Structure 1
Amino acid sequence: MKKLIIHGGRRLSGEVTIGGAKNSTVALIPASILADSVVNFDSVPDILDVYNLQIIMRSMNVQSSFANGELMIDPTAIEEAELPSTAIKSLRASYYFMGSLLGRFGRAVVTFPGGDNIGPRPIDQHVKGFEALGAEVEYDDDTVRITAPNGLHGTRIYMDMVSVGATVNTILAAVKAEGTTILENAAKEPEIIDLATFLNNMGAKIRGAGTDTIRIVGVEKLISNNVHTVIPDRIEAGTYLSMAAAQGDGVLVKNIIPEHLEAFIAKMIEAGVKLDVHEDSIYVPKTDHFNAIKIKTTPFPGFATDLQQPITPLLTLADKESVITEEIYPERTRHIPELNKLGMDIDNLSHGLIAIRPSTQLMGNSVSAAEIRAGASLVIGGLMADGQTVIKNSEHILRGYDRLIQKITQLNGDIRIEESDEPMH
């Protein structure tokens, strides 16, 4: 187990380059096994989830190599096999193998996925998509068995709720299905567009990605002829923008697509941060006064639930009480007691309603990262607090943040990683 050790209070300055999007990468890698050729990606983030997905693919005789942001995957000798449950349980996005295996072989057996504990995230919408396409789904203890005895056939599917995961899985299952699939009330996230772009470049026929209606005409073969560049990670970008505003003396955040962060940027400006937004970078000046704001998390293009926690420490610098309403995952509040150990004054008022009051005297402490974005908020809190902060269970953070130690060190932060003797919770 690993722990992060931060000596806080140092001002940050310089520049940081954002890596490829975690939430794209964890969909693109399972999607690659649909290809009938070798697949190449670049701008792949160096995160634990990538290595776990490689382990899962290796069990199916899919070879891959990963170095310096470049990932090669060869699915041409793929075999059906039982997937390693330890790797499956380590990340939730392993459930994308349900859609891609179903699309490739007409059947899939996947252990129930793990990942962050941020409240209930059922897979009923995924199952609805598979069944509409003609699959039969059975549950056996913690295993999901999906078969399509008569093949997969295009149809019209209406999602009862907007779900990124279910949208991705339905696309993966439908891309080689017979006929046309029309997916309504689909998620519009940039990562969905990235996935569709990757598949279309191999010969898929997907239209409408980024809107709430996606049309998929099934094809027989997918052949990759070029390198797919993963889009920049908007959640990593928002995390560094928050960090730079809270503790920076002028930080340039590079490799950003500002259109992917419009709701977040608007709230930062409302809070008093005079962001200088360029085509693919944002400069965060030193900010001496912050305004209290109200935030409500909603599906894209609204304020992302994944940025609720990273912006929380920044709001403790405001002149009055700020309020966040977490509407996507109301139980996503496990960062609050940990941030309060650093001297912050944050209350979980009711189901998903968070009050953040001004806090001036922050002191380092021993805290624990319950999941990726909760951990990111603790990193920012630790950089703001005087003295030493120790963040236990930091594997969670490293699952989602590319070269975190290196990037913060380059900004003049004092952060290092150590092995911990304590078991992970």
Structure 2
Amino acid sequence: MPRLSTILLFSAVLLSAQAAVFQPAVDFLFLGVQWVDVPKFPGDFGLLKLSFFLADQHVDVAVSLGRCGLYSEPLRSPSAGPGVYEAVLKVRADRLGASMGCVAVFKSRYVYKSGSLSDGVERVEYAEVYVPPYPSPQAAAVGDLTLGVRGKVLLWVWDSFRYNGTVEVSAVGARLYGPVLFRGDLGNFSAALDVAPLDFSASLTVTIRTRDALGREVAVARQVPLSVKPRPTPIVAVRQERWVPAGCSTVGLHVMYPLPVNGTVYALGASAPLVRGEAYVWPEVCAAGSYAVIPVTVQLDTGAVDRVELQLPVYQIPSMLDVSAEPTVLVTYDINKVTVKIRGAGRFEGQITVSGGVVLGQHPVPFFGVDGAEVALRIIPTSSVVTLDVSAAGVGRTTVNLVASQRTPVEVSAEPAEVPAGGREVVRIYVRPRANVSEVSVTLYP
């Protein structure tokens, strides 16, 4: 039994010695490379980290990378180790999205081990470095637009590689309708936009957001010009013949665009909706000269405005109104009661406009009647001639001139005008007031 214990103890010591002899000693190990900051375009610089395991302390250390498409200056350190040593090199990449077979070189002048310095080491390791692509999307708008008119353009976003992200669109000098935020594959992305350009230099601001190979957010803004052509002038046509009668009458206008635009048409106080490029509006036109000018304004639903002036010749039509006024002679700067009698065919309505005097009450003075009408006016003449402008829609227009005099406000006459001397005769005295007279006195003398 004691002999067996001795054998087992000897075997255990032998195995322990063999394990100590054959266990490999690791004093240097290359752990690999990792990007700290990636290059953003060919020729740009990035930060690449090279990691090493050092069993001892190394003095005066230099780490370099070369023999590939990456260029860097050696990184020097006073010492490194023991443990994991990380060297971050500033490298320049001529290409993105490619793998590079590089050589990593670790050099040290001395090694401090067990309290003494020995000669340093030089280790050459192979490093496979992948330079990831960096998002650099481009954007363009495909399609032509018309100034002030809603239209469709195709927004196209593309890049040299595929990745997901968001696209946000805003407009400068234009108005956007519909969604402005999109998500998708930004390597080849397209979306239809509803746009109304309000300026010839209108453009889109396209903001693309995604993440790079390190997971960091990347935001790229692109200014995309829009192709804008002029808007055609609206065509305004008269529905009746191309003339209007003298006086006031309703004229039908047909407004047309060669585009399916919507909005509102305004003409002399009248308005009508513009639907798909067409509208009918019926303004009242009052013409006194040889031509009538009708201003037409079109406001589109995008805010754009077009203005057109239409000139129409005016023809004189014989008046169907028979108008008379009494009295025909007025007293200046006094209140005169004037009765206007109007005769016409059928039912009519219109107004009386007075010039050369002041009308007490509403002015112009409206009237209506069937076959005839009578209007009482109270006028204070301010000039020698007072003109009454009488017009009735669809019937005609005429004027009546009244004379304003500054003679005595009453007219006095006697009958007979002569009597014999020494006789007794009856004489009648007539007093006819020419204005509002409250009292009259008559004095007789031989």
In our comparison, the structure showing a higher alpha carbon Rg is 2
Q: Same fold (TM over 0.5)?
A: no
TM-score (norm 2): 0.19
TM-score (norm 1): 0.20
Name the one with the larger strand percent.
Answer: 2
